[in-house]
Structure 1
């Protein structure tokens, strides 16, 4: 239970950190920064700041890097660079709210992936939670009035959704053994270099400025805003996201990640003076309700006593060995300790 509680803390923290990117980036863009330049700098600065921490975390574990490299490269290509590039292409054809709605349908893609590849069929509560959370997103993003869409924009938005789903699936995978900070650093290096290459060939518009952006009515040096963008929404956000996904699993973490849209509204209110609407509040309540329903619909973890009981049943006959409970408590545990302290 403590692992799941900390997982919620990490996942919500990641959502809050990611949500700052819009407001911090918006302030920079009012001074002449292009969106492509801001996101490229965000990822590269995040990688640079995490690198020393990754080196420390990998002490004695460098042998794990080659085995984890394919996953890190895929993470950087799809979860980091791919999602960003696809989103920027999508907003060329679609309103931002529509592109975000399609991208944030990633939890549904995660549900389908786990069902198809692992046989984890979503429960009725999980399905209901997905529907409620989706309804909340529609209201938060103010899509009830109707908008015009086109197929290229939808296609790019779906690509961004797949990238986001890959982010949750790979973030929850700890089979490679790399610490979260090391895995995040590798992914950000790959993603940042790909974004820089996209800027060099003209796929991303790269423009910068040294003018001071304004937040909450106060001018902030451009390098401070850029540093916060990289440190908080780049490095910190991805590490927290991996920590949370490993504790909650990709399915639940992906739905907790929807709270990012709520933090976006809150941060825009505090930094940019954009007052939340009634729709933001109602939609936010629905998103949170959907997350709670998904949590309630999660399969229960096996109880500790059930695990112990299963461990002392002989595998061939399914019959418990002829020993007394006190004798069992004296058996050495896998950790080399004895008795209940080793369970």
Structure 2
């Protein structure tokens, strides 16, 4: 396996772990009265502020790239940052977290079929086997048995999956000469602006609290919780973008599924939420599926995802906008899985 691939896998695994690590912190904040809108806003805004100076330094002499690819950057901020989070939290108003997350994590399947459609190169049998194994493992980890389905909630969760595809597809574009730190900083700033603009609409609930937050056996001030989430989020997106550029959108999106069993383990360590044997078995299946998918990619004809800046931007915005709901705001929810952390 080439060194580039190993580094890409490593960065994507670090990204998945950091996203998962933010979940228990968000859950602890919700327990004290924080709501999704407030956590999402501070998370995006905090990352944008934290990365402002590194972004400016990294973009010296490269601002022409922003002018050239402004549509793609707008898609990344609106769809991949704000869209994923907003739609996910509005979905969990009508669905359990497990079901909403399971639907959102169909994004890797969407990417495989999107690449197949665009390149006309059929994925290998190993890739299909890996897809089935990974999704089976995901079902075991999330255990959605007995959940009630709501059509609006299902559509919103699938809309979040479409927006999540944009995160991987835009991040995989190697023709954009914008460093990962700048891509993250600019995207966070745009996403924070979108979430802030939604405040008057009532689509998301914004409640802030100053009570201490319980993390396992210790209590920390509220600003420590915000700091932990901001640091985990910024690090997750930085390593995630760098990893995507090395191993591509398809493989990285499936490696990212490991975030779910990671979140179960982190919740066990931090919140004493003990995983059951079925969840551990599901985590093993997710890992096994990723191996099959990578082997399948190696045996497939070389394929490159060619996404035209303007066409991709218009398509992603249309898809995400079509999925946006018209009903009420999302209520506060307990975050029990990794992507809920990304959407926290």
TM-score range, shorter chain: 0.7 to 0.9
Superposition TM-score, scaled by structure 1 size: 0.85
Shift of 1:119: 2.2
Shift of 1:60: 2.0
Aligned equivalent of 1:150: 150
- Structure 1 gaps of 5+ residues are 304-343
1:125 pairs with 2:126: yes
- Measure, in 2, the Cα distance between the counterparts of 1:269 and 1:110: 31
- Structure 2 gaps of 5+ residues are 303-344
Shift of 1:118: 2.0
- Measure, in 2, the Cα distance between the counterparts of 1:294 and 1:146: 30
- Measure, in 2, the Cα distance between the counterparts of 1:38 and 1:295: 35
- Measure, in 2, the Cα distance between the counterparts of 1:19 and 1:155: 24
Q: Radius of gyration: which is bigger?
A: 1
Change (3 A) 1:241 1:48: same
Matched residue count: 301
Q: What's the CA shift string for 1:244-282, capped at 9, x where partnerless?
A: 100000000000000010111011011111011111101
Superposition TM-score, scaled by structure 2 size: 0.85
Q: Which has the higher contact order (CA 8 A, sep 6+)?
A: 2
The list of structure 1 runs, each at least 4 consecutive aligned residues, that deviate by more than 6 angstroms after superposition, is none
Contact 2:124 / 2:300 at 8 angstroms: preserved in 1? Answer: no
Give the 3-state SS of the residue equivalent to 1:297 in structure 2: helix
Change (3 A) 1:302 1:129: closer
Aligned equivalent of 2:87: 86
Aligned equivalent of 1:255: 254
Give the 3-state SS of the residue equivalent to 1:299 in structure 2: helix
Change (3 A) 1:301 1:132: closer
Shift of 1:202: 1.3
Q: What's the CA shift string for 1:297-341, capped at 9, x where partnerless?
A: 0135999xxxxxxxxxxxxxxxxxxxxxxxxxxxxxxxxxxxxxx
Q: What's the CA shift string for 1:210-245, capped at 9, x where partnerless?
A: 111011210111111101101212x11111111010
- Measure, in 2, the Cα distance between the counterparts of 1:277 and 1:226: 30
Q: What RMSD, in angstroms, separates the aligned Cα atoms of the two structures? A: 1.5
Contact 1:67 / 1:176 at 8 angstroms: preserved in 2? Answer: no
Shift of 1:9: 0.8
